[in-house]
Amino acid sequence: MTMTKEEILEVHRFRHATKEFDPSKTISDDDFEFILETGRLSPSSFSTEPWRFVVVQNEQLRNKIKNSSYGAASKLPEASHFVIILARTPLDIRYDSAYLKEQQVRDVPKEYLTRRLEILEEFQRHDFKLLDHERFLTDWAVKQTYIPLANMMTAAAQICIDSCPIEGFDIEKMNQLLDEEGLLEDGHFTISVMIAFGYRKKEPGPKTRRPFDDVVKWVK
């Protein structure tokens, strides 16, 4: 069941930011649940899991997103599936939040809860200084959402499904739209990034990257 190194590299060569999707092709429920599961299983700092994956299949909401995001305009409605990754805000990811206390109780024995949250406070307050400004905690959560983003795109490519990450939107306008749709849960979430999934309409050009030696530096 182990993939060879060349097979793994072929998956990464196959994956590209798909600009146009074939509207006649739809991803099966089983395949898309597999993609979402790889996102759910992704690692996060202190196991906070500061994300939510909103799968938008509703045509009306898709049209609102299309009209509000220049990055999504060419992907909707053609994409088979469209996901908005939300990041949890300081209301949930500050060390003393109810969300983290509930999560920590679920994950570890109660006798370790106090110490674990103390370590998290030390990390947020002193190591990364995330408590110096409210935006810092939000940015910390947003950065982590790119881990499941990458994992889902790679998993999709492994089963020959295309994807495109989307940052082309005004954060305030998109948050306002999502809040009106009741998706931000009274400020507990903010938009991070979006992903379109489907099947390519045409083959892309050759993948280009900077030379290996320009990207990788060894310190021996």
Q: What is the pLDDT of residue 104?
A: 59
Q: What is the pLDDT of residue 159?
A: 97
Q: What is the pLDDT of residue 114?
A: 82
Q: How far apart are CA 23 and CA 114, in angstroms?
A: 52
Token pair in block for residue 127: 């190591």
In what helix (H) or strand (E) does residue 14 lie, and over which residues does it extend?
A: helix 5-14
Q: How far apart are CA 7 and CA 12, in angstroms?
A: 9
Q: What is the pLDDT of residue 182?
A: 97
Q: What is the pLDDT of residue 176?
A: 98
Name residue 86's beta-bridge partners.
52, 191
Q: What is the pLDDT of residue 106?
A: 60
Q: What is the pLDDT of residue 101?
A: 85
Query: Which pTM does this prediction carry?
Result: 0.94
Q: What is the pLDDT of residue 115?
A: 85
Q: What is the pLDDT of residue 107?
A: 60
**Which residues are within 8 A (CB) of 54 and not within 5 positions of it... i.e. 6 or more apart?**
83, 84, 85, 86, 183
CA 180 to each of CA 70, 92, 174, 175: distance values in angstroms, whole numbers, following the listed order: 20, 20, 10, 8
Which segments of the chain have a pLDDT < 70?
1, 104-108
